[in-house]
Amino acid sequence: MQTFIAFWNILRKDIENYYLKPPNISWGIIFPLSWTLMQLIRSQGDIGIEELLSGLMAMSVLFGTTSMLAVTITFERRSRSFDRLLIAPISISTLVIAKILGAILFGILNAFVPVIFAAFFINLSGINWGITLAAVILIAITSALLGLLIAVSAKEVFEAQTFSNFFRFPMLFLCGLFIPIDKLPVILKPISFCLPLTYGTDILNGAITGNSIFNAIFNISVMLVFTTLLFYLCLRNIKTKWIL
């Protein structure tokens, strides 16, 4: 019971204190929103909105979750409030889950902003919403863990955002969000398949347009492997960089 109370209070504090911080508004909300509007307006030509929707959703999750972690972790590291959490009578695993859950929820909400706009242009009744929701959740989890992994290495918010952009912007072009993987140069394809967002986007492509490289079960399995690996790396980094 005490663990649950601690978990809830950490999550509530993050929601109340960090959701409307300027970096979250600029990178987590405004950038995905403006990119969504730009692509949807542009798609009135020869690009179908359905073909863009999966990429826009994945991008919104990616930027929303990583921006959230860049703010929460670096602010708390600078104020040393995270140090107080580390000596609290809860496990490191519980602490990590509590810290990333707010970012995950933020990313999931961001994912459906493009859906709301797309609903004004096309009929969305053919989308498999169950698979879509599963994909969004998995993308949010892996993106949050990646954001935490980056934030642990930064001392200031601008450093965390810079490190995040080093990974986020290449993913826009390597993970099949807007450029199909089969159209990438041969030398870049192996890199694409080493990124978890590739498999999350492939799940969304299958659920929205029916065009995917792999089947949903394989993609979900790979995403779960990435989740486990990233969670382990986050725990190890926190223990080695902030505790030992």
Domain limits, the chain: 1-243
Q: How far apart are CA 107 and CA 117, in angstroms?
A: 17
How many CB atoms are located within 10 Å of the residue 164 CB? 25
Helices 129-151 + 216-238 axis angle, to 10: 20
C-alpha dist (Å) from residue 24 to 77, 105, 115, 125, 129: 17, 13, 20, 31, 27
Backbone angles phi, psi at 112, to 5 degrees: -95, 0
CA-based nearest residue to 59, from 212, 166, 176, 219: 176
Instruction: Find the radius of gyration of the CA atoms of the chain.
Output: 18
pLDDT band at 197, cuts 50/70/90? very high
What amino acid occupies position 202?
D
C-alpha dist (Å) from residue 139 to 62, 65, 178, 223: 7, 9, 16, 8
8 Å CB contact between 200 and 139? yes
What integer pLDDT is reported at residue 83 of this predicted model? 61
- Each residue of 97-120: pLDDT tens digit? 877 888 888 888 888 888 887 888
| Residue 121 in tokens | 């242009």
CA-based nearest residue to 135, from 55, 41, 30: 55
- Each residue of 25-66: pLDDT tens digit? 665 567 666 766 676 666 555 456 777 788 888 888 888 888
Helix segments in 19-80, DSSP class H: 22-23, 31-42, 49-79
Please state the pTM of the whole predicted model: 0.85
8 Å CB contact between 28 and 64? yes
How many CB atoms are located within 10 Å of the residue 216 CB? 17
What amino acid occupies position 28?
G
pLDDT band at 244, cuts 50/70/90? very low
Q: What number of CA atoms fall less than 13 Å from residue 14's CA on the CB side? A: 30
- Each residue of 164-184: pLDDT tens digit? 778 888 888 888 887 788 888
